[in-house]
Amino acid sequence: MPSIHKNNRAAALLAELRDEDRLFTARLALLIGVTPDELRACRDHSLVLAPVAQAKLGRAIAARVPRLA
């Protein structure tokens, strides 16, 4: 899937998170097994997460933020 290889989906989901969602970068990183710095870099399009980490990220966000599911 080209969108996974280019990191588009993971970065888009991270960009859609809001403060009121109460899903913080450090907690999300812990849930999916990456560092908070890796998530910030992914959100800023300077790092591509591994496809497995992107899938975990999507599931974690969808389970906790229904409007993004």
pTM of the full structure = 0.78
Mean pLDDT of the region 3-27: 81
CB 68 within 8 A of CB 16: yes
Q: Which residues contact 65 (CB under 8 A, 6 or more apart)?
A: 17, 21, 23
- For the domain covering 2-68, report its CATH number: 1.10.260.40
pLDDT confidence of residue 12? 87
In this prediction, residue 5 carries a pLDDT of 63
For the chain, domain boundaries? 2-68
The values of phi and psi at residue 28, to 5°, are: -65, -40
Q: What is the DSSP string of the chain?
A: -HHHHTTHHHHHHHHH--GGGT--HHHHHHHHTS-HHHHHHHHTTS-PPPHHHHHHHHHHHHHH-GGG-
